[in-house]
């Protein structure tokens, strides 16, 4: 079972690195942009699964994968990559199987980082 504390530590390390490089705290701006993207992409992905639309699932997963990687959310990025690959291959049953851990992690990140 995945421990979300690892994901949070990775995200925190990204914030520290950015602050060291830029000399400013970008946490608020980055989190705001990330959560807008996460919410949009999860909604699009849910709609794509409902409509059995592989192309929409690919696009939503790809966009969220990039946003997660930029934030330092490595596990979310990996989950999105897997979803993207399955959707690209037309295996929406596998995408549906990945949906619960992805949405659970998104919720955990939201709870921990929106404080």
21 part of a folded domain = no
Q: CB–CB of 60/41 below 8 Å?
A: yes
What residues contact residue 81 under an 8 Å CB cut-off, 6+ apart? 61, 65
> Residues 23-58: pLDDT tens digits?
999 999 999 999 999 999 999 999 999 999 999 999
> Measured at the alpha carbon of residue 18, what is the angle toward residues 24 and 7, in degrees to the nearest 5?
125
pLDDT of residue 94 exceeding 80: yes
8 part of a folded domain = no
78 part of a folded domain = yes
83 part of a folded domain = yes
Question: What CATH number has the domain bearing residue 76?
Answer: 1.20.120.160
| Residues of the domain holding 86 | 34-113
pLDDT of residue 2 exceeding 80: no
Band (pLDDT 50/70/90 cuts) for residue 114 is confident
pLDDT of 1 reads 60
pTM (whole model) above 0.75: yes
29 part of a folded domain = no
Number of domains forming the structure of the chain: 1
104 part of a folded domain = yes
């Amino acid at each position: 079972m995945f421990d979300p504390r690892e994901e949070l530590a990775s995200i925190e390390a990204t914030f520290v690195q950015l602050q060291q490089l830029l000399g400013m705290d970008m946490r608020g701006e980055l989190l705001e942009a990330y959560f807008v993207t996460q919410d949009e992409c999860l909604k699009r992905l849910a709609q794509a699964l409902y409509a059995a639309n592989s192309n929409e699932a690919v696009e939503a997963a790809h966009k969220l994968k990039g946003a997660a990687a930029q934030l330092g959310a490595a596990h979310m990025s990996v989950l999105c990559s897997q979803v993207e690959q399955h959707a690209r291959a037309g295996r929406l049953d596998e995408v549906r199987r990945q949906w619960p851990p992805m949405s659970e992690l998104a919720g955990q990140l939201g709870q921990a980082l929106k404080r």
